[in-house]
Amino acid sequence: MTTVDADAARTGTPAGASAAAPDAGSLSVEGLAFAYPDGHQALFGVDLAVGRGERVAILGPNGAGKTTLVLHLNGILGGGRGTVRVGGLPVEKKNLKEIRRRVGIVFQDPDDQLFMPTVREDVAFGPATTGLRGEELAARVGKALGQVGMAEFADRPPHHLSFGQRRRVAVATVLAMEPEILVLDEPSSNLDPAARRELADILRSLDVTTLMVTHDLPYALELCPRSVVLSEGVVAADGPTQALLCDDTLMSEHRLELPFGFDPRSVVVPAR
């Protein structure tokens, strides 16, 4: 594992958060290994610690184990070796309810994520399963939709929204659960450049730990001060995104390629 100045990577952490309680990070994955029932081993000992408020990109070629890792974060997959803790709470059967509230996964296809007849009901689904009702529930839904700028679409059925709007509502459905950590699977896929930028603005405005699985390297550079390269089921590199993207050997070793004409060295990364 190549560690590219891990301390510098944490400069995105709010002041004092990691210094005061170094063990109370949002996410800690230790020695996670997992093989599917068909014998295919996807993870071979993944270690990852994410501090509160950090935005981290998970990069890696297809088949690197990114999705497998994500599905371990909220206990959909499990039973392999190693441990996963979210905000200190281990991902175990008895904690699953709380874990699923703490870990908000936004799946790639918003049509999978949005299954209720209207946007409002869909955003309300998560908090309602935790027992929230009435005024409190409505306030939570209003806040989450406001955070993604979709408040006026509350009574629309999801299939009448544009793809970008659906993606934003999908983000709201997990924000409504006030998660400890927001996990996004390919957030920029299928978005036109304007929708992509709008989503970036929204993600930047949120004060929540964010894990972003993506092939969109410029997007990772724009949004995440820190990146983790997952390759063949292990963490191959962990460090500041710009440093990783500028490391040509590392990039080519793990089938990571920048879009034509994009030079990460020339980019001035915005502060947070």
Partner 1 sequence: MGAGHAHRMYRHGHSPVHRLPPHCKLAATFAFVLVVVATPREAYGAFAGYAALLVAVAAVARVPFGFLLRRLLIEIPFVLFAFLLPFFANGERTEVLGVSLSVPGLLGAWNILAKGTLGVAASVLLASTTELRELLLGLQRLRMPPLLVQIASFMIRYADVITAEMGRMRIARESRGFTARGVRQWGVLAKSAGALFIRSYERGERVHLAMVSRGYAGTMPVIDEVTATRAQWATAVALPAAALAVCLMGWWTL
Applying CB under 8 A, the residues found at the interface with partner 1 are 74, 76, 97, 100-101, 103-105, 107, 109, 111-118, 121, 124-126, 128-130, 133, 137, 155-160, 173-174, 177
Between the CA of residue 178 and those of 79, 103, 171, what are the distances in Å?
27, 9, 11
| Residue 92 Cβ vs partner 1, minimum distance, rounded to whole Å | 16
Q: Cβ closer to partner 1: 41 or 130? A: 130
Q: Cβ closer to partner 1: 85 or 100? A: 100
| Residue 173 Cβ vs partner 1, minimum distance, rounded to whole Å | 7
Question: How far is it, in rounded angstroms, from Cα 121 to Cα 23?
Answer: 37
Structure tokens given for 213 = 């699985």
Strands (E), 51-180: 55-59, 81-86, 89-90, 103-106
Starting at the edge strand found earlier in the chain, the sheet holding 181-185 runs 2-3, 234-240, 226-231, 55-59, 209-213, 181-185, 103-106
| Residue 77 Cβ vs partner 1, minimum distance, rounded to whole Å | 10
Structure tokens given for 111 = 């049509």
The burial class, CB within 10 Å (0-12 / 13-18 / 19+), for 5 is exposed
Q: Cβ closer to partner 1: 33 or 128? A: 128
| Residue 83 Cβ vs partner 1, minimum distance, rounded to whole Å | 20
| Residue 236 Cβ vs partner 1, minimum distance, rounded to whole Å | 27
| Residue 103 Cβ vs partner 1, minimum distance, rounded to whole Å | 8
Q: Cβ closer to partner 1: 44 or 163? A: 163
Q: Cβ closer to partner 1: 44 or 107? A: 107
Count CA atoms within 13 Å of residue 58 on its CB side.
Answer: 29
Q: Cβ closer to partner 1: 92 or 111? A: 111
Question: How far is it, in rounded angstroms, from Cα 158 to Cα 116?
Answer: 8
DSSP symbol at 137: H
Could you give the 3-state DSSP secondary structure of residue 127?
helix
Q: Cβ closer to partner 1: 38 or 248? A: 38
| Residue 186 Cβ vs partner 1, minimum distance, rounded to whole Å | 14
Question: How far is it, in rounded angstroms, from Cα 215 to Cα 258?
Answer: 9
